[in-house]
Chain A
C-alpha cells in the first residue's frame, strides 16, 4: 500500500476503501450475531451506515488527522482531544445524515429518533475504531515528520559547521600566509628560475613547508618548538632571497627545550613581525635573534631585532601579534604572556608559555 498512501490523493482513496470495507465487515459481524431480524433491516442499516460513514467518518478522520498532526507538534493531550472530537462529531454527523435521509425521502419522519439512535449505536463503535486508527496513523505521521524535520535541521547544522570550519581554515591560511608574501615569493622564484635554478627549487620547498604548516595550524593547537623553529628557518630563507644581505638572523635554542610545546606559527609570526616592521624598512636592513630559556615552570622565548621598536598598545586588532595574544589566552589563560621591551638597542618580544 505504500505506493497508494504516499500521495495525498492516494491517502483519500485508501481511506474511502478501508472505511467502506470496514463498514461491511462490522455489519456482517453484527448480522452473524443476530442483530438484524430481517434482510431488509440489514440492507437498510448497511445503506444508512455507508452514507453516514462516507459523510461523517471520512471527514471526521481527515479533520481529526489534521488536528492531531498540529496537536502532536504542540505536544497537547492528543488522545483526550481526539476522543472529545469523536464524541462531538459522531452524534452531530448522525443527526445530519438522518436529516438528509428524511429530507430526500429515504426515511420516514415519524421514525426519526428511533432510527437516529439505531444508527448511532452502529456508528459510535465504527467512529471510535476509525478515529483511533486515524489518530494512530496521524500521530505516527506527525512524529515521523517531526523526526524528519529534526534530522534535516541537524544535517543543516552539521553542514553549516563544516562550512564554517572550511572557511576558518581558509581564513587561517590567509592570515598566516599573507597574499603579499605569497605572491612576492612566487615572483622571487620566477626570478631565480633563470639565474639560480637550484635556489629556486629550494625556495619552492621552503614555501611548501610554510603552506603545509599554515594548513595544519588549524588541526593542531600545539607543536614541538623544534618544528616551529623549522618554520622560522623556512620563512627566513624565503625573506633572505627577497632582501639579500639586508636581512640577517640567528636562532639559539638549547636542545633540552626543543620539545617544548608551542602554538603553531607563534615564533614564526614574531620573527615575521621583526622582519616586516623592524628590519626591512631600514635602508641598511638589520638582524633578528631567536633565543629560549627555561625556569621552573615556564619557557621564555625571545625574538629580538635591531629595528626601532614599537608600542605594543598601538597594535591594531587582527594584527599577527594581537591574534597571537588571543591564542595564548585561549590556550593557557594567565599562565602565558607576550610582552614587548627594549634592551641594548634591540626591540625584544618575549613569549612565555608553560613548560609542557
Chain B
C-alpha cells in the first residue's frame, strides 16, 4: 500500500520536482500539493495524509506556523534550502529534514523512516 502524501512549498517548480521524485519511487501517492500555506492548513485539517512534505520558509506562514494551526500533528518531512532550522525542526513531529535540491537517495531514506 502506498503512502498518502501532501506537499507544501511556495515555489511551483520545487513542488513539481518533489512530486516527480516521489512518483519515481513508486511508494507514494501524492494526494495534493499547494504553494499557499493557508490552503495547506485547510487541506491538512480536512484530510490528514500519512506524511506531509513541508517547506519551512514561506511567505505569510512558515512551516512551523502551519503545523501550529493543525488540530492533529501529521508525520512531517521538512524541506528547506538552508539548514538554519534543523534543530527547531527536530523539536516537532518530524521524521526527517531534507535540504534542497533534494537528493533522490536521501529522499528514499526519508521514506523508509516514514
Contact = CB atoms under 8 A, between A and B. Distances in A.
A269 B59 CA distance: 19
Contact of B17 (A182, A191, A241, A243): A191
A105 B26 CA distance: 110
Interface in A174-194: 179-180, 182-184, 186-192, 194
A179 B83 CA distance: 10
- Say what secondary structure dominates the interface of chain B: loop
Contact of A187 (B17, B20, B57): B17
Contacts of B108: none
Given A180-B57, A184-B81, A191-B17, A244 B12 contact: yes
How many chain A residues sit at the interface, stated as a range, is 20 to 34
Given A183-B101, A186-B101, A190-B101, A281 B13 contact: no
A181 to B, nearest CB: 8
Contacts, number: 53
Interface of A is mostly: helix
B11 A184 contact: yes
A187 B13 contact: yes
A242 B13 contact: yes
24 contacts: A180-B82, A183-B81, A183-B101, A184-B11, A184-B81, A184-B100, A187-B11, A187-B13, A187-B17, A187-B81, A187-B100, A188-B14, A190-B17, A191-B14, A191-B17, A194-B17, A194-B20, A195-B16, A241-B13, A242-B11, A242-B13, A280-B10, A283-B36, A283-B60
Interface of A: 179-180, 182-184, 186-192, 194-195, 241-244, 280-283
Q: Closest 4 interchain pairs by CB?
A: A183-B81, A281-B59, A191-B17, A187-B100
Interface of B: 10-14, 16-17, 20, 36, 57, 59-60, 81-82, 99-102
